[in-house]
Structure 1
Amino acid sequence: MAASAWADYRRLLAYVRPYWKPFLLASLVMAVYGATDAMFAALMKPMLDEGFVARDPDMIRLVPLLLILLFVFRGLTGFASSYGMNWIGRRVIETLRGELFRKLVRLPVAFYDRNSTGDLVARLIYHVEQVAQASTNAVTILIRDSFTVIFLLAWMFLINGWLALLFLVIGPVMAWLIRSVSRRLREVNRRIQDSMGDVTHLAEEAVAGQRVVKAFGGEAVEVAAFDAVNRKNRSLQMKMTATSTLSVQLVQLLGAITFALVIWLATRHPDAGDISAGDFVSFITAMMLLMPPLKRLTSVNASLQRGIAAASSLFGLLDETPETDTGTKACERAQGRLEFEQVRFRYGADQPPVLEDVSFSVEPGQTVAIVGRSGSGKSTLANLIPRFYEPGSGRIRLDGIDLHDYRLADLRRQIALVGQEVVLFNDTVARNIAYGQCQDAPRAAIERAAELASAMDFIRELPQGLDTPVGEHGLLLSGGQRQRIAIARALLKDAPILILDEATSALDSESERAIQAALERLMQGRTTLVIAHRLSTVERADCILVLDQGRVVEAGRHAELLAREGHYASLYRLQFSDRDIPPA
């Protein structure tokens, strides 16, 4: 096993360490279970020598009873050891999945920009199960079958040492064979896990975007793409099966050769000594009983390598750096004064700048609109305020204090966000409004927020009112209804800073007018940043910032900017070419 693989496996076994007492007990029971095969082989000697040959009546009565008791004992120890090890395995899975999920919710937004959802879900579901195979199921086989082999070999040496030596000769050959296929199995399994991420990713995309797939006739394209990754996954699985099966068959062939040599030596060769019929049958029985555990010990290598490859993938995710939170400043409720000072940002060192020397300030309670062409950096600017991303240089202050000085949870408690794509969870309307820090909000407060968001009218018509499930991603509701629930969520949070990121751009004109009143109520008394494509929604803002290629090229009120005949006026003309621009 390579050094890195051994390090991953040792780290994996650390998850078993908290359960060392039940693990030790299960291991002892497995050792006892391993001895039962040798006991069965040992019973063959008196059964033949004293039962069939000597016709001893006491032994004739005793051997069947001992056989029954032996298999009852074997059944009890087998059940206890398997149950114990599986109990540990499910605990390991629970712990690992919990750690992975806690890591996922604490990773920065930039991490999700680089990794597909399908790959992350595959790690959380599929890879963890593979790890369980390595941490407990494979260990069960290693311990139980190793003891079985040891006890059977010991019994064979007691019967005839010369014949048993054959197995000591064949052992190193088997070990070399197992070692030679380990690296191949590990590499194939790593590629299989990557392939499973691709399969999950494509399936999720096709299911989530099924309306687009149908509308644009993309069924054949999606099926072809899925068939390609599906074939790749099948091919890799068959490579693993071929490697694993071939190694098992070679081990069995070596065992058969050894078996044939034993029969020849026992019957023809003088070095075998003088053995009775009972000794010979007992020896052959022990040899036959050796084959299944040897086969499992060989096969377990594939499972072990699968688990190690999966563990490497999981530990890579667990070792990702979470969001940095070095702030110490507590904040119950901010006043809401925001300042940007020469802020620069790019998504990667090799990427072009998205924001360049952005500077502006917003007083508490003011509304600032951020407009510009697509790709000008509007949403990126807003994402810097809750620290979804970190600026490359420059400073952003809240109430005169750098955002990095605030504790991250306290900073985000000051901000409510209503975006173009409303995220609703597969839960009730009430739980989607009272989400996160507001989950214990009183029922009356939830209803009040829904009323202010103009949402109670349609909520009352739902089958269970506020207790109606909204479905996956809120698909049981219309776009306007989802938007009003998002506004109610922001109202209930009652944060001093509000970010509206294209909050009405996905709605038709009628829905937009109905929601605009709810947004105006939401904006009252709050520092508000409105990111808008429709300029008609920002005409009453206290200040409008015009971004172009990541720079603030204009700033002022609506009438002032029109009078300048600059970027803003050009954008306004593009949207309202059929209307006369009013004089400044």
Structure 2
Amino acid sequence: MENNNSNTIEKKENQFAVLARILQYAKPYRNYLFFAFISAFISVVVSLFIPVLIGRAIDVIVGKGNVDFNRLISILIVIAVAIAISAVFQWIMTYCTNKITFLSVRDLRMAAFDKLIQVPLRYIDGTSHGNIMNTMINDIDQISDGLLQGFAQLFTGVITIVGTLVIMLFVNFKIALIVIIMTPLSMVVASFISKRTYNKFKEQSSIRGELGGYIEEVIGNQKVVTAFCYEDRAQEKFEEINQRLYDCGVMAQFYSSLTNPCTRFLNGLVYAVVAIIGALSVIGGAFSVGQLSSFLTYANQYTKPFNEISGVVAELQSAFASARRVFTLLDQEIEVDPEEQGGSTNKTTVGKVDLDKVSFSYNKEVSLIEDWSLAVKPGQRIAIVGPTGCGKTTVINLLMRFYDVDGGSIQVDNRDIKTMSREELRRNYGMVLQETWLFHGTVRENIAYGKENATMDEIIAAAKGAHAHSFIKRLPNGYDTVISEEGDNISQGQKQLLCIARIMLTKPPMLILDEATSNIDTRTEINIQKAFKKLMEGRTSFIIAHRLSTIKDADRILVMDKGRIIEQGSHEELLVRGGYYAKLYNSQFKQV
């Protein structure tokens, strides 16, 4: 029992903490908050004056032959003016609350995206991309919906409750006490139900993220799904996740839908009690008919905010659950650059690279690279070969500081790369990967991705160097041809050529080529190798290749297996040695 109580207290404290963090994003726009409050106050006060006027209007028409038309018309005019004033300030309040909500959510989404591009690659690799997208879009939209309703109900609700309570106490103290005593019943019911809706909305948000991740995974690999005839099984898994989301959503909506009718039922009882007692007071002469009408209106206005607030409980609970997911992203550790710690920024790079007793593993329980050392002189071309999973790409990840070493150090020009900013380090490398990436934009914009102010002449020269100029000129609009988001309007090999042209344009002091010609035909590959040979002159280069014919000219070839260097030397030296590399190389020419 104590555990349940402590969990409830902890959950409330967590919700208050989440709310406090959300409101921090509204703090810069507190002027809108101020005007919203003032507008809400004026709108509610004016609207609270209307029942008094209605009561007076009723009193001037009660009784046979006792209708005062002149006074009635003047009262109706005042009522019309009061309604207009209330409506105008209600619009101002709505505008201000919308403004503060959308600006706050905009800043929250910007903060989430800013965090996303600063988190270590380990987080991106270890989290479903669809889940991250769901957090960035759906969860933040859910916070927006909750805030929008929450702000509006908070302002009008609190002022209405306080205003009507003061007026009722002034009109009839005893009947007002009855209303006050019975009202908390609706709050108790709403609280009871809201506790059960929160967990369901939290679970719903989590399953929604899982579903988004699965959809992104299937759509992104649709060709593979189709090639392996996996459509039916993919559909079954989707339906299983979707069914769980449906079941959870139904229960969440069921619990939340109980709130409003339950509180309305209790408020209806309050209204009935007030009506009966008020009617008896009118009979006893303590009340006029008009006063009773006004009091009943105030009793209804007093209970109405409780209904409205309880009606948005579901939205608020869902918003809290979504906010937790967003703040989980915002609480991730970021990659800290050494400038903040007093690191130096040397812009000149010779290209001397040293790996000293480097150790690293993605999973702490499974070792990968242990006590790995390598000395690379400026301008050397280092080729790395070996079976799949031996650690070739991992070395590249460590050189670029996509991941940090667990032990040992990596130095560039005798500087530990941990003392360099990641931007400084990565600008010294030009990297072409096996997996091409192009964004939705023109060919020219894609080539100039790494050099913002590149001239057209530079872009064309880079394209020619990558042997991409000829096919670009054959495109419908040449360099202004728009490439689709997936690059489906050009071939895989052409995508690779554009990625190579990017590097040709930036001309960095060091190069990383990770299967850079894997998607190029043999004839084009020969030309690309010539271009790379020219590009690599005087530049330290790291080359990963499965086709060993592409690395014959490397100054040193490293043969890796299970995270260790098992052989190293030039192409000729390794062939003479007759070891693993020689067997691997000769296997390419064996007849099956």
TM tier, smaller:
over 0.9
Q: Which amino acid aligns with 1:15?
A: Y
Report whether the alignment pairs 1:336 with 2:351.
yes
Range with bigger deviation, 201-210 or 93-102: 201-210
Q: Which runs of 5+ in 2 are unaligned?
A: 1-10
1:528, distance to aligned residue in structure 2 (A)? 0.8
Take 1:170 and 1:508, find their aligned partners in 2: how far apart are those partners? 82
Take 2:285 and 2:360, find their aligned partners in 1: how far apart are those partners? 85
Report whether the alignment pairs 1:384 with 2:402.
no
1:172, distance to aligned residue in structure 2 (A)? 2.5
Task: Identify the residue that residue 43 of structure 2 maps to in structure 1.
Answer: 33
Task: Identify the residue that residue 430 of structure 1 maps to in structure 2.
Answer: 444
The answer to whether the Cα contact below 8 Å between 1:487 and 1:518 also exists between their aligned partners in 2 is no
The answer to whether the Cα contact below 8 Å between 1:199 and 1:226 also exists between their aligned partners in 2 is yes
Render the CA deviation track for 1:361-402: whole Å, top value 9, x for unaligned. 222221111000001000001111110111111121111221
Take 2:388 and 2:519, find their aligned partners in 1: how far apart are those partners? 15
Task: Identify the residue that residue 14 of structure 2 maps to in structure 1.
Answer: 4
Task: Identify the residue that residue 411 of structure 1 maps to in structure 2.
Answer: 425
Q: TM-score, normalised by structure 2?
A: 0.93
Q: 2:362 aligns with which of 333, 347, 351?
A: 347
Range with bigger deviation, 82-91 or 221-230: 221-230
1:301, distance to aligned residue in structure 2 (A)? 2.2
Take 1:42 and 1:199, find their aligned partners in 2: how far apart are those partners? 55
Take 1:229 and 1:567, find their aligned partners in 2: how far apart are those partners? 47
SS at match of 1:435: helix
Q: Which amino acid aligns with 1:37?
A: S
Q: 1:79 aligns with which of 73, 91, 97?
A: 91
1:270, distance to aligned residue in structure 2 (A)? 9.4
Once the two structures are superposed, the pairs formed by residues 57-456 of structure 1 within 5 Å of their partners are 57-268=69-280, 274-326=286-338, 328-350=343-365, 352-436=366-450, 438-456=451-469
Q: Which amino acid aligns with 1:547?
A: M
Task: Identify the residue that residue 23 of structure 2 maps to in structure 1.
Answer: 13
Q: Which amino acid aligns with 2:28?
A: P
Take 1:574 and 1:114, find their aligned partners in 2: how far apart are those partners? 36
Take 2:333 and 2:298, find their aligned partners in 1: how far apart are those partners? 54
The answer to whether the Cα contact below 8 Å between 1:344 and 1:392 also exists between their aligned partners in 2 is yes
Take 2:304 and 2:40, find their aligned partners in 1: how far apart are those partners? 16
Take 1:87 and 1:151, find their aligned partners in 2: how far apart are those partners? 26
Take 1:407 and 1:289, find their aligned partners in 2: how far apart are those partners? 61
Take 2:334 and 2:489, find their aligned partners in 1: how far apart are those partners? 34
Report whether the alignment pairs 1:464 with 2:501.
no
Q: Which amino acid aligns with 1:318?
A: L
The answer to whether the Cα contact below 8 Å between 1:375 and 1:549 also exists between their aligned partners in 2 is yes
Take 1:263 and 1:512, find their aligned partners in 2: how far apart are those partners? 91
SS at match of 2:438: coil
1:447, distance to aligned residue in structure 2 (A)? 1.5
Render the CA deviation track for 1:520-557: whole Å, top value 9, x for unaligned. 33323311111111111111211100001100000001
Take 2:144 and 2:289, find their aligned partners in 1: how far apart are those partners? 45
Distance 1:37 1:229, change over 3 A: farther
1:273, distance to aligned residue in structure 2 (A)? 6.4
Take 2:291 and 2:101, find their aligned partners in 1: how far apart are those partners? 41
1:296, distance to aligned residue in structure 2 (A)? 0.9
SS at match of 1:554: strand
Q: TM-score, normalised by structure 1?
A: 0.94
Aligned pair count reads 577
Take 1:431 and 1:272, find their aligned partners in 2: how far apart are those partners? 86
SS at match of 2:371: strand
The answer to whether the Cα contact below 8 Å between 1:108 and 1:322 also exists between their aligned partners in 2 is yes
Take 2:503 and 2:87, find their aligned partners in 1: how far apart are those partners? 60
SS at match of 2:374: strand
Q: Which amino acid aligns with 1:89?
A: T
Q: Which runs of 5+ in 1 are unaligned?
A: 580-584
Take 1:462 and 1:313, find their aligned partners in 2: how far apart are those partners? 44
1:326, distance to aligned residue in structure 2 (A)? 2.2
Report whether the alignment pairs 1:475 with 2:488.
yes
Q: Which amino acid aligns with 1:239?
A: M
Take 1:135 and 1:207, find their aligned partners in 2: how far apart are those partners? 33
The answer to whether the Cα contact below 8 Å between 2:47 and 2:83 also exists between their aligned partners in 1 is no
CA RMSD of aligned residues (A): 2.0
SS at match of 1:528: strand
Take 1:270 and 1:487, find their aligned partners in 2: how far apart are those partners? 90
1:510, distance to aligned residue in structure 2 (A)? 4.4
1:332, distance to aligned residue in structure 2 (A)? 1.9
1:575, distance to aligned residue in structure 2 (A)? 2.5
Take 1:269 and 1:278, find their aligned partners in 2: how far apart are those partners? 12
Identical amino acids, percent of aligned pairs: 32
Distance 1:211 1:273, change over 3 A: farther
Q: Which amino acid aligns with 1:522?
A: L
Q: Which amino acid aligns with 1:204?
A: E
SS at match of 1:51: coil
The answer to whether the Cα contact below 8 Å between 2:496 and 2:519 also exists between their aligned partners in 1 is no
Take 1:339 and 1:578, find their aligned partners in 2: how far apart are those partners? 41
Render the CA deviation track for 1:172-191: whole Å, top value 9, x for unaligned. 22332233333323222221
Range with bigger deviation, 16-25 or 155-164: 155-164
Task: Identify the residue that residue 541 of structure 1 maps to in structure 2.
Answer: 554
Distance 1:498 1:360, change over 3 A: same
Distance 1:37 1:149, change over 3 A: farther
Render the CA deviation track for 1:43-102: whole Å, top value 9, x for unaligned. 221111013443122222112222321221122111111111101111111111111111
Range with bigger deviation, 127-136 or 363-372: 127-136
Take 1:316 and 1:115, find their aligned partners in 2: how far apart are those partners? 12
Take 1:252 and 1:141, find their aligned partners in 2: how far apart are those partners? 17
Take 2:349 and 2:532, find their aligned partners in 1: how far apart are those partners? 21
The answer to whether the Cα contact below 8 Å between 1:452 and 1:521 also exists between their aligned partners in 2 is no
SS at match of 2:557: strand
Task: Identify the residue that residue 582 of structure 1 maps to in structure 2.
Answer: none
Task: Identify the residue that residue 51 of structure 1 maps to in structure 2.
Answer: 61
